[in-house]
Amino acid sequence: MASAVAFLQWCNYEGSTGGPCFFGREPLTYNSRQERLHNLQLGDCLWLVSRCPEDQQHYFVGVLHVVEKRRNPSQSEIGRTFGEFAVVADSRRSRDFGRTFPAEGLLRAFSFENGKSVKTGAYLGQALQAIRFLSAQDEQVIAHLTPDRGASHAPKLDRPFGLWTKCDGVSADYFLANWEVRHEPLAFLLYDSPPVLSAGAPVFIHSDKNLRIVSSFLEGKYVAGYKMSVEPSERAAERERIWRAYRAATINPPDKSTFDAFWDRQHGVRALFLIENLVKVPEPLPFRAYGRALEWGYPMGVGYRYLSLSQTYLLMRACKLPQSPVCPSLRLVAEEGMRG
């Protein structure tokens, strides 16, 4: 089986005044001027993307299950208006999503056939001019994320799935060196509250102007050292506890005075999270490239930012680590964090 993505004008999706909407027509048919449409076979899926004029966002408005291919006479009204090539869908198995399935993030993350992904910074309108076939992994992702019938939103697509954070080059080298030799969880210290993610979620670490490390989230913890209501001696004791538990026994730990200064800055560390399965990104991935793809400005003054599944998928592909031990095949259809 194969899957393809095609664009549908919003006015054709909603239907004209007094006329049926696209999914209200029988037989349920998609027409195109592109002969490529007939590369779909019976039983394949055609995912329809449209741009809503109300909010200017792209949505997967539906999926068609192909049961027949037709050729419209070139001089017929349908042939002249919509094109010669058509596929007929099984209306019982096809789905109308409305505006419950945001498309932009996934479309930018998909690799498509032969790895011809949407170029960084490219307009989606240009990328969707041609009917595009999905890769096998893309098919897994979109099939798993499809919203339930009647859902008002797509929680599995929108919920936090990964994490982006940053550190200096010395810390990045320290993390990589320790994991390579010790293979024991490492603590990332924060002035922020600990992130809330499922164990195994991907963590992307940016350093020296590039994305350098991909790792797995293990757990987050609060620490008491930041609380000004705690006596100074207790704050110092908490600092020493964290040093002994997560730094002192590691390879090339930071100088103790440097650690103390970091801890005391801004009244102390608030939380930490543990990471494991560290993998070095094979090639430098500068923020100006992947930040544009994520449609981010550089996050100033923040300890971390959550990533949606589509953003996580995009970064894994950009890092050229889709089969890494961090997230084999991204585990998009198997991980507990993706259920329900």
240 inside domain: no
* Residue 334, pLDDT score: 34
> H helices within 202-281, ranges in order?
232-246, 256-264
**Whose structure tokens read 């019976």?**
42
HSE (side-chain half, CA atoms, 13 Å) at 125: 5
* Residue 323, pLDDT score: 56
211 inside domain: yes
Whether 104 shows a pLDDT value over 90: the answer reads no
Whether residues 174 and 132 fall in one domain: no
DSSP 17: T
Whether residues 138 and 174 fall in one domain: no
Whether residues 207 and 101 fall in one domain: no
Beta bridge partners of 121: none
CA–CA separation, 23 vs 29, rounded Å? 9
* Residue 146, pLDDT score: 82
* Residue 186, pLDDT score: 97
The band of 96, judged by pLDDT with boundaries at 50, 70 and 90, is very high
Mean pLDDT lowest for which of 98-102, 269-273, 326-330?
A: 326-330
Whether 24 shows a pLDDT value over 60: the answer reads yes
pLDDT (tens digit per residue) in 201-223? 999 999 999 999 999 999 999 88
Whether 251 shows a pLDDT value over 70: the answer reads yes
* Residue 33, pLDDT score: 96
133 inside domain: yes
* Residue 152, pLDDT score: 52
Range of the domain at 182: 162-223+270-338
At 181, which CATH number? Answer: 3.10.590
CA–CA separation, 193 vs 210, rounded Å? 25
49 inside domain: yes
* Residue 87, pLDDT score: 97
Whether residues 178 and 141 fall in one domain: no
The band of 324, judged by pLDDT with boundaries at 50, 70 and 90, is low
Whether residues 185 and 322 fall in one domain: yes
CA–CA separation, 101 vs 158, rounded Å? 10
Q: What residue type is assigned to position 162 of the chain? A: G
- 287 sits in which H/E element: helix 287-294
Q: What average pLDDT does this structure show over 311-336?
A: 62
**Whose structure tokens read 């599944």?**
309
CA–CA separation, 200 vs 166, rounded Å? 19
pLDDT (tens digit per residue) in 2-17? 899 999 999 999 987 6
The band of 158, judged by pLDDT with boundaries at 50, 70 and 90, is low
**Whose structure tokens read 């494991």?**
276
At 22, which CATH number? Answer: 3.10.590.10
Structure tokens, 152:
């008002």
What's the domain count of the chain? 2
* Residue 336, pLDDT score: 36
Domain final residue, candidates 124, 147, 170:
147
Helix orientation angle between 136-145 and 309-318, rounded to the nearest 10 degrees:
170
Three state DSSP letters for 99-144: CCCECHHHHHHCCCHHHCCCCCCCCHHHHCCCCEECCHHHHHHHHH
Whether 340 shows a pLDDT value over 50: the answer reads no
Whether 26 shows a pLDDT value over 60: the answer reads yes
Domain final residue, candidates 147, 171, 198:
147
* Residue 20, pLDDT score: 79
84 inside domain: yes
pLDDT (tens digit per residue) in 112-136? 988 888 876 677 888 889 999 999 8
pLDDT (tens digit per residue) in 292-305? 778 788 888 888 99
